[in-house]
Structure 1
Amino acid sequence: MKIVLTTVGILAIVLGVIGIFVPLLPTTPFLLLAAACFARSNKDMHNWLLNHRLFGSYLRNYEEGRGIPFRAKVLALVLMWSSLAYAAWRYESLWLRLLIVSTGAAVSMFLLRLPTSSGPPSD
């Protein structure tokens, strides 16, 4: 099971990093998934992820129950919905537009349900 969780964690990191550049892939849920997988399978990878210079503080704050900064939530939602609106405008297929909007709605609900921290991430 440790091999499966480590593999899923690595795949989640790859998708999360791709999600930084591709708006339809949400970065935050993939990084949270990777942290959860590594917490149960690979302590070295979990520590590496929690101490990463770019997103380690966000993951530590989330794991410690402090949540995600309000600014990060707003930025994620604005960028995601901007790109989703552009993608929906570019495609004429109704089912594809519905898929784009429903994916955006699901990711938005996930982000909005995460706890919100009151200040910047701690380092």
Structure 2
Amino acid sequence: MERTISIRRLSLNIVGITSLCLGFLGIFLPLLPTTPFVLLASACFMRSSPRFHRWLHEHKTFGPILDNWHQHRAVTAKVKRRGAVYILLSFSFSIWFVPHFWLKIALVFMLVALLTWFIRLPVMEHLADKQENH
């Protein structure tokens, strides 16, 4: 039983680190989304490494994204705009290059479903960063 737990923790740590690396690359690469990878990393670390989980939530770049999601199940307007554009671009690229018509149709349905879900996410700005009381 102990061996199973350690293999599970190791697997979750590997997925978490990989997701965090992809999320970090997403800051610089336009077609790679940051937020979903950071959320996945947080979920993995929550189950496998309290130390990494705490570090991730205290990080100056990733922490606000995670706090916004965990507290409000929301994203910022900037994340929503960029995410919608990148979802459209990446799916369009895939639809253009996929050789089979049935795959193109499946991708269009996935695009519509994903965009519908993504656009309906609530928007919540970080009020702590704003000076609305001045």
TM-score greater than 0.5 by the shorter chain: yes
1:49-64 correspondence runs (5 A): 49-64=56-71
Displacement of 1:10 in angstroms is 1.5
Query: Kindly tell me: are residues 71 and 4 of structure 1, through their superposed partners in 2, closer, same or farther at Cα, counting changes over 3 Å?
Result: same
Matched with 2:40 is 33
Q: Which runs of 5+ in 2 are unaligned?
A: 1-7, 130-134
Matched with 1:120 is 126
Displacement of 1:31 in angstroms is 1.6
Quote the sequence identity (%).
36
1:97 to 100, 104, 107: 104
Secondary structure of 1:116's match?
Answer: coil
Query: Kindly tell me: are residues 106 and 66 of structure 1, through their superposed partners in 2, closer, same or farther at Cα, counting changes over 3 Å?
Result: closer
Structure 2 Cα separation of the partners of residues 105 and 76 of structure 1: 14
Displacement of 1:112 in angstroms is 3.5
Displacement of 1:109 in angstroms is 4.2
Structure 2 Cα separation of the partners of residues 121 and 101 of structure 1: 36
Query: Kindly tell me: are residues 26 and 5 of structure 1, through their superposed partners in 2, closer, same or farther at Cα, counting changes over 3 Å?
Result: same
Structure 2 Cα separation of the partners of residues 9 and 76 of structure 1: 21
1:75-114 correspondence runs (5 A): 75-112=82-119, 114=121
Q: Which runs of 4+ in 1 moved over 6 A?
A: none
On the 8 A contact 2:68/2:126 being kept in 1, the answer is no
Q: Which runs of 5+ in 1 are unaligned?
A: none
Structure 2 Cα separation of the partners of residues 99 and 19 of structure 1: 25
Structure 1 Cα separation of the partners of residues 93 and 127 of structure 2: 31
